[in-house]
Structure 1
């Protein structure tokens, strides 16, 4: 039997690390933070090791370290980097809150499974970003920022020359020319990092507001001669373009991309198939030795036509890196940010010493995608 510290809500986190994941949804600092709010924490043994957090550090902060099954059995709420698999759902007791990126936009069957198991599903991907009260809960923003930074580092590592201009006794080496497609959180971080590394950076995004943001970082805005004045969707995310808009954008980007050494694509549409920004023709137009990092690569496709998760080199000598797991490559910082996001979502629902949803509150209604009845029952107790 797991013994937890005196608290009204028990929050559990499991080990999600593997070949592509090194992050953890709870850090020792957050254990201390939640403890001040009357929430006790349980964590599976070794869950934070890949992010450089030891079991001893969690215990020192006040958490209980236990086995996987013990954490699942004792927790009132479970927090995740991604989402739990069917085996975890089967073990979780009815009424347990499941907090994470649940894929609710594209996987109705998963949400239905939560509902049938009597679990309360809290989908962070549905966070209404425009609410000031939600900013500290925005996992997508925090992790995309880490992703954009790492994308620039990965591109620089794969590129077989210097990024900055170098003047030496043997001659002058020109700076690398980098193109960032998608100037959201990830794109802006990629721009800033590439600039600091010395590259000459150009960027493009369909959102009109992005031009000023790009230029404020010292980069040029790529003029495609197109007008997508309604390019911004709800919540600050880029909307999906129409078929005609995509075709026009692709043709223009393909033509312009040929002059760049590095291309980083970051245009994700949350929970949906990402738009193709660089076609096969565009890739074929790149010079030998060019590097493309596709942050949107996944089972749903990517921003680069034909990109897959992993690294491939075309017959023309272009390296394409499909990299959806970049944030995991900066596991300590990414975990610090993600743990704060998840903890603040949890804390939002702790009311009068219980986990409960407030019916009619915008944030609650947006995030709770399964188990509303269970949430309401908890609120009444």
Structure 2
């Protein structure tokens, strides 16, 4: 089968969907891989490395003309016109973008959104959300350390003692856990909060303190359990109690990292403007939910701003700032998914009885999957 790897064209997207490592594995399985020249340049991967791994180098038109096209982000309108009807498209295609899905259906594509993979043990190897969130959590702390005008660890010197920085992490998913671990490695005192009480043990195992807001009703307990591995929107009663606890921690923190996302919905507001006003001058907020509206209403997507003496970082693609390792992990996820899509003979095989393939498939045979998981 012919596999195409085009360069990403969206602004500031530095990742690539396949690396020389995964290209070599595709070729070993009998596939022909066509990589657009310069596709890996921003991830530190040269055309020579791809060629050595067995790839054919091409322009974007030839890469997009393949039977199976692998991307990081959804194709632009220009790219969409170069994709042939019947092509299988794999990438982070946003399963909640109704207009995008309709466009894939009109183009006659079989489109697979990897973000829609179920949170099951079998699907762990293709969990792109986790692999990229891991990098985002790490990078958030590194950026915070760069913007913060003090050091993270406590130092005892002849000139006196320097106190450790205080870091507060809101949202303890994969990104939050990595942020906690990275901040602890740098020597910070770390606290964390999440709607799911079950993550307390994970937080404490990393050496951080969990800010617990007990559930008082059955409705709150049910919401706190999450669904399918994802957080759910909590009832207003719980959110009000959490807001009080969060406000106290935010005021005491030097650095706040927010990671709370609800799939398909605007990110919940966790750090209000009033909370920001209580923070010490020079404090830093890194909002990992900036692309989904932000956990702080002051966040400006794609920009770093200063408000009330606090630096607020609104980077919308943190994994893209660590493009080499982000591409390495993402391409391995893609490789595992392609293995599900191909039979022993190497040909494309869309098995709708496979729960992972069925969950990721958002357009097929001119039809689009609706939000209720049915086809039209």
Scaled to the shorter chain, the TM-score interval is over 0.9
1:29 and 1:189, CA in 2 relative to 1: closer, same or farther beyond 3 A? Answer: same
44-53 vs 12-21, which moves further: 12-21
Match of 1:6 in 2: none
- Whether 1:265 and 2:255 are equivalent positions in the alignment is no
Describe the superposition over 1:319-370 as per-residue Cα deviations: whole angstroms up to 9, x where unpaired. Answer: 1111221111111111100011112112210024321211322112111110
SS of 2:13's equivalent in the other structure is coil
CA distance in 1 between counterparts of 2:298 and 2:237 reads 20
Match of 1:292 in 2: 285
Runs (4 or more) in structure 1 with deviation over 4 Å come to: 225-228
- Whether 1:50 and 2:42 are equivalent positions in the alignment is yes
CA distance in 1 between counterparts of 2:228 and 2:27 reads 32
Unaligned runs of 5+ in 2: 368-376
1:59 and 1:140, CA in 2 relative to 1: closer, same or farther beyond 3 A? Answer: same
SS of 1:133's equivalent in the other structure is coil
Match of 1:20 in 2: 12
Aligned residue runs from structure 1 range 359-370, under 5 A = 359-370=352-363
CA distance in 2 between counterparts of 1:40 and 1:272 reads 39
CA distance in 2 between counterparts of 1:87 and 1:360 reads 33
Deviation at 1:256, TM superposition (A): 2.5
Match of 2:274 in 1: 281
279-288 vs 185-194, which moves further: 279-288
Q: TM-score, normalised by structure 1?
A: 0.91
- Whether 1:191 and 2:180 are equivalent positions in the alignment is yes
Q: 1:303 aligns with which of 287, 295, 317?
A: 295
Deviation at 1:20, TM superposition (A): 2.0
Deviation at 1:139, TM superposition (A): 0.6
**Kept after mapping to 2: 8 A contact 1:34/1:40:** yes
**Kept after mapping to 1: 8 A contact 2:107/2:366:** no
Q: TM-score, normalised by structure 2?
A: 0.92
**Kept after mapping to 2: 8 A contact 1:297/1:308:** yes
Q: 1:348 aligns with which of 335, 340, 345?
A: 340
CA distance in 2 between counterparts of 1:127 and 1:353 reads 22
SS of 2:221's equivalent in the other structure is coil
**Kept after mapping to 1: 8 A contact 2:204/2:210:** yes
CA distance in 2 between counterparts of 1:198 and 1:113 reads 48
- Whether 1:242 and 2:232 are equivalent positions in the alignment is no
Describe the superposition over 1:284-309 as per-residue Cα deviations: whole angstroms up to 9, x where unpaired. Answer: 111111110001102x4111122112
CA distance in 2 between counterparts of 1:255 and 1:16 reads 43
Q: 2:309 aligns with which of 299, 317, 323?
A: 317
Match of 2:82 in 1: 91
Aligned residue runs from structure 1 range 119-134, under 5 A = 119-130=109-120, 132-134=121-123
142-151 vs 337-346, which moves further: 337-346
Match of 2:155 in 1: 166
